[in-house]
Chain A
Amino acid sequence: MRTALRSQTTATPRSRIVLSAVAALIALALPLLLQESELLLVVEMLVLALWAVSYNLLLGYTGLVSFGHAAYYGVGAYTVALLWSKYGISPLIGLVASAAVTAIISFFTGLFCLRSVRLYFALLTLAVSQVMFTIVFEWYDFTGGDNGIHGIELPGFLSSAPNLYFFVLVVSVVCMLIIKAIVNSPFGGALLCIRENRQRAAFIGIDVKRYELIAFIISSTFSGIAGGLYAFYDRQVFAGLLNWTKSAEPVLVSLIGGMYSFFGPAVGAALFIFLNAFLTRYTTYSALALGALLLMLALVFPGGLAELASLARARLLRRGQHELETDETAAAQPTASERKP
C-alpha cells in the first residue's frame, strides 16, 4: 500500500507527459474508432469515474467511509431533471446548479454525520441517504416518485453521441484535475494527516472536524456534478439513483482500482462498466462474476489495480536496472519489495 503513495511522488515528469499525450490522443480518436453504443458506454465510464474519484477524496485521502454517496449523486441528477421539467431551465445551467445544491445539502448532512466517527459516521451517512431516497421516492407531486423524470431535452449541440461524449469528457476531466490539485495542495496534505492519525493531526494544529466537513462538501459537490452528467447521459432520472445499492458503486470501484492511487478509482470505474456491459451480454450472473473479481482483488491485491500496476512497473524497472547497472534514475525508483507482505 505504501508503494501506491510513493509511486505518485516518484513518477518522472517525462513519462507523465508522454502518458497524458497518449491518453489525450486516444480520447480524441475514440469517436472515430467506436460505434455509437460503445461511445455511450465510455460516457457512462466517465460519469462513474468522476463520481468514484470524488468519492475517493473521502475514502482514500481522508479515511472517511461514506455509505450514502448516492444521495448526492442522485440529488445532482434530479437538480438537472427538475429544473428542466418544472421550470424549463437548460440542463447546462442545471449542471452548475447541481453543484450548488449538493454543496448546500452536504454542508448540513456533513455537519450532522461528522458528529460521529468511524463506523458510526458510515452508518449515519447511510441513514441520511436513505431519508433523502425516501423523500424523492415518495414525493410524487414534485419528483414524480417511482416514475422518475423522463425525456430530458439537451441543447441541440449535444444531440449527437460524439458531441455528448466530448462534453462529458471535458467536464469530468476538468473536475478530476481540480480534485487532483486539491489532493496535492496543503489542504490535501492535511487530509492525509487526518487519514493517517486523527489525534496527531489535531496536535499539529489541524481542526480535524472542520477539515473533514470541507472534504465531505467537496466530495459531495463533485458527486453531484457526476450525477448531473448522468442526467445528460441517460436523459432520465429515477429514485434508484439515490438508493443504498447505488451507493455501493463508488465504494466498489474505488476498491477495485485502488483507493491510495488518484486515478485508481477511475480505472476501476471503467472496468466495472465494461464488465457489467460485457458480462450481461453472456450471462445473467454478471453480479456474481463482478463479486468474484472483487473478492480476488481484495485477497491478492488489497491495493487494487493500482498496486498491480506499481508491482509491474517495479519489475520492469528492476529488469532495466540489470541491463543498465549504472543507470541512476532506475536505481532511485522504489521497488515493490519494500511493500509489507
Chain B
Amino acid sequence: MSAMDGALLQVRGLRKWFGGLQAVDGVDLSVRPGEARAIIGPNGAGKTTLFNLISGHLRPNAGQVLFQGRDITGRPPHAIVHAGIGRAFQITSIFSRLSVFESVQMALLAKQKRTMSFFRPRARLVVDQTTAILEAVGLGEQAKMPAGAISHGDQRALELAISLAANPTLLMLDEPTAGMSPWETGRTMEMIRRIAREQGITLLFCEHDMEVVFGTADRITVMHQGRVLAEGTTNEIRQNTAVQEVYLGSDEQ
C-alpha cells in the first residue's frame, strides 16, 4: 500500500455508504501512467459509485484519492477536471440545445479557464482545436447540428469529444459502449484506443462487454460487493477461479 512508485492515480481505503448499504467498502486501487485499466464486476458491485467518488460527484465517507501525488479527496468536480481527470458518462450527458461545435468549444474554453470573459464574442475562439477534436471522433460533418438532434451513436462520440476537450491525463469512461451495436462498439473502442495512444491518455473504464474489456485493457480490477476481488493482467483474471465463480462463470456461459 505504501507504494507511490509512479502511480498516476492512487486510491486508498475508499468507502462510501448509503444508509446501511456499503456501496464501496474499502477499495484500494493504483493506476500507472499510460495504462488502460478496466473495472469489471456484476451489477451493484460499486463500479459507478467508485467512479463518482474519484471524479468528485460524490464525497467518500472514508479513504483517500491521490492524483499525481496530490490529495484530491472530496474536491468538487470542476476542480478535479482542472487537475487533469476527464469523465464521460454512462448515460449520455450532453448540452442538447447547443450545437455539436459549441459543446466541444465550451468544454475547451472551460478547461483553459477562459470562460470568465464577458465581452469578447466566443464564436471565433478555439475554432481550430474544436474542429480537430470533432474530426478525431468523426463528428466533423455534424458540427452545426444541435447536440440533441444527432443519432445515439454520434451522441456517444460527442460525449467522448467533450471529455477529450478537457485534455485529460486520466480519462474515466463509464460503460463507453453502452447501448451500441457490435459494429459501433468495435469502432468506438478502436477510436478510444487510438486517441489514448496518440495523446498519452491513461484510461480507466468500466464495462460489461467482456470482448471490449479483454480487447482494450492492460490490467483488470474485479469488484464484488463493494470490494476489490482480484486485480491482474487479462490472462491472470481469465484464469482466476474466484473471479470465474462470482462473475465470468455465471455471466458468460
Contacts and interface: CB of A to CB of B under 8 A. Distances in A.
A and B: interacting chains = yes
A185 B122 CA distance: 5
A49 interface: no
Contacts, number: 115
A71 interface: no
Contact of B117 (A178, A185, A199, A260): A185
Interface string A196-238: 1101111111111001000000000000000000000000000
Contacts of B38: none
B187 interface: no
A67 B50 CA distance: 39
Given A203-B77, A204-B162, A186 B93 contact: no
A15 B94 CA distance: 32
A189 B115 contact: yes
Contacts of B113: 205
Contact of A2 (B77, B89, B146): B146
Given A2-B148, A193-B95, A203 B117 contact: no
A1 interface: yes
A197 B147 CA distance: 12
Interface in B108-141: 109-111, 113-123, 125
B118 A185 contact: yes
Interface string B84-121: 00010100011111110010011101110111111111
B118 A204 contact: no
B120 A205 contact: no
A53 interface: no
A187 interface: yes
B49 interface: no
B201 interface: no
Interface string A162-186: 0000000000000000100110111
A338 interface: yes
A203 B81 contact: yes
A316 interface: no
B8 interface: no
A208 B76 CA distance: 10
A114 to B, nearest CB: 15
A192 B95 contact: yes
B149 A186 contact: no
B123 A184 contact: yes
Contacts of B165: 204
B98 A187 contact: no
Contacts of A182: 118-119
A210 to B, nearest CB: 9
A187 B117 contact: yes
B177 interface: no
Interface residues of B, number: 41
B202 to A, nearest CB: 18
Nearest to B117: A186
B115 A186 contact: yes
Contact of B81 (A1, A9, A204): A204
Given A182-B118, A205-B111, A338 B78 contact: no
B117 A200 contact: no
Given A2-B149, A182-B118, A197 B95 contact: yes
A6 interface: yes
- Most chain A CB atoms below 10 A, which of B76, B81, B82, B122: B122
A2 B145 CA distance: 10
B98 A193 contact: yes
Given A184-B121, A187-B118, A5 B95 contact: no
A53 to B, nearest CB: 16
15 contacts: A2-B146, A6-B99, A186-B106, A186-B120, A189-B106, A189-B109, A189-B122, A200-B94, A203-B55, A203-B78, A203-B81, A203-B93, A205-B82, A260-B97, A338-B149
Interface of B: 55, 57, 76-78, 81-82, 87, 89, 93-99, 102, 105-107, 109-111, 113-123, 125, 146, 148-149, 162, 165-166
Given A184-B122, A186-B114, A200-B93, 18 more contacts: A5-B97, A5-B98, A9-B99, A181-B119, A186-B106, A187-B117, A189-B106, A193-B95, A193-B98, A193-B106, A196-B98, A197-B93, A199-B77, A200-B94, A200-B162, A203-B77, A204-B110, A204-B165
Ranked 9 nearest A-B pairs via Cβ: A196-B95, A205-B81, A202-B77, A190-B115, A204-B107, A205-B110, A200-B93, A204-B110, A186-B122
